Structures are given as C-alpha cells and as structure tokens.
Amino acid sequence: MKISEKFKEGKEQKRSLLIGFITAGDPSIELTPKFAKALVEGGVDIIELGIPFSDPIADGPTIQSSSMRSLSNGTTTKDILDISKKIVEELDVPVVLLTYCNTIMKMGIEKFLQGAKKAGISGIISPDLPPEEAVEYVRLAKSKSINTIFLASPATNDMRLDRIIDSTSGFLYMVSLFGVTGTRDLFTEYSSQATKRIVEKVNGRVPVAVGFGISRPEHVSNFTKLGVDGVIVGSAFIKIIEDNLSNTDLIIDKLNNLAKELSQATSN
C-alpha cells in the first residue's frame, strides 16, 4: 500500500495516521517483524524503520542506545531491506526507512534505492539531507516510486518551507520542537504555534506528520486537533523494548497496548 493511499484512508475516516518508529535489529533482526506486527495490530498505520547509525545527530539517548544495540548485533543494511520486504508482504502497510546520508552513500545511491524498491519501501527520511543538495537523489528515488520525506522545524522560515514543501513527497515530517528525539511530558506553546503555521503554509499540498517527543494519547489528540495528518511516535515504543529486553512476549504486549491507546486518540 502506498503512503498516499494511507493518508487518503485517514482523511476519509476523519483521523490522523499513527506512524510507529522502531530501530531495525534492536534487539535482533529476527524480532523486528514481530514488533512491527504488534504495532500494526494495535493501530499503527505506517511503520518507520530506523537504520542504525553510530552518530545519529537528531536522536536522543533512547534511540541512540537502540542504534548501538542493533549495531552491536552486526545488523547490516541488507538485513534491514530483507526484513522490510517481509513486513511489507505480511502486514500490507507502508514501510518508511529513516537513515543518515552516510549509509546511503556507503552503499551507493543507485544500489541503495534499487534495494529499497525491491523491498517494497514506500519512502525514505534522511535527517541530514537538505533539499538543495538532493535534486538528483529525489529524481532517482521518484523513478523507483520511492517518496523522499524532508523535515521542517519550528525554526524553518516561510521561504525555506516552500522549498521543502516542493521537494518532499509522501508527507512532510514536522519536527515538533527544538532539540533531539525523546519523550516529553509537555509541549510548550511554541510547538502549537509552529504546527499551526506549518499546517496553514502547507495548505493541503502534502500531508503533514508531526514527530519528536510524542508519547501519550493526549499528545496525539492535541496535535491532531491542530490539523496534522499524522503523528509519529518512536522513543516511547523503543523505551518499552529497552526496559524489557529479556522478555519478548512482554515487549510485544506492551507495544500493542500502547499503539492501541495512541491510535484511539487520532480521531479529528
């Protein structure tokens, strides 16, 4: 299923989509599809798989630790593409990869995108890839029917936001706050105001999904009321994995339960 089809489905159902992030290979490559299944059965609409990186500049301690666990297991990009294909085929949901540019360059852009296409990947997020330097990459990704998802933050001015909107496809990833990923108790007024501004500026040209810090049903509900098309949750799911590494069944139950709680808060 394409990302655009999922967002259309959400709009018809008058709800925002729930996008769930986990790091591929944490704590093992074999468990990643099982965790993805638990999330989807709990109500997650799109799976975002993180390719582990040794220096993830946009990520807080929880996701950094998750990346280190995955890397220590010897997880490779090929492993991740293989399990992505399995998730796409078994769960029939869009799968998006989050990866830093170095990983793509190391494999080679053409080879990476070709592998992603074979795996059925719907979109790729690269937090350190600016649209100004991505023209050829976007062209190659588009030729393989892969969306390139760019990020905007509360600091993004209107001129740059127009450039990002024109370049992004699938959805625009709106960073809800200044700083790195990680759960938050409260969001300040500037997060709300920035979200309103970006949603108004986008004006339906592309879906807007907001992430960073979202971990509770009330967060999901509040951002949905601000008009976003999707909410992205990562650290809260990964914290469940981190806290229960010796008990796979408990991880699966807790992931499923949190996904259910969050998905119930997505109605407009």
Strands across the sheet containing 17-23: 147-149, 123-125, 95-98, 46-50, 17-23, 230-233, 208-211, 172-175, 151-152
48 is catalytic: yes
Q: 205-216 in b/e burial notation, b at 16+ Cβ within 10 A? A: ebbbbbbbbbbb
Written as one string, the DSSP assignment of the chain is: --HHHHHHHHHHTTB-EEEEEEETTSS-TTTHHHHHHHHHHHT--EEEEEPP-SS-TT--HHHHHHHHHHHHTT--HHHHHHHHHHHHHHH---EEEE--HHHHHHH-HHHHHHHHHHHT--EEE-TT--GGG-HHHHHHHHHTT-EEE-EE-TT--HHHHHHHHHH--S-EEEE-SSS-----S---HHHHHHHHHHHHHHTTSS-EEEESS--SHHHHHHHHHTT-SEEEE-HHHHHHHHHTTT-HHHHHHHHHHHHHHHHTT-B-
Q: Which of 9, 12, 26, 48 is catalytic?
A: 48
The encoded tokens of residue 247 equal 């008990």
| β-strands 151-152, 147-149 pairing | unpaired
Active site residue 166: no
Catalytic hit among 26, 45, 59, 79:
59
Q: What are the residue numbers of the active site? A: 48, 59
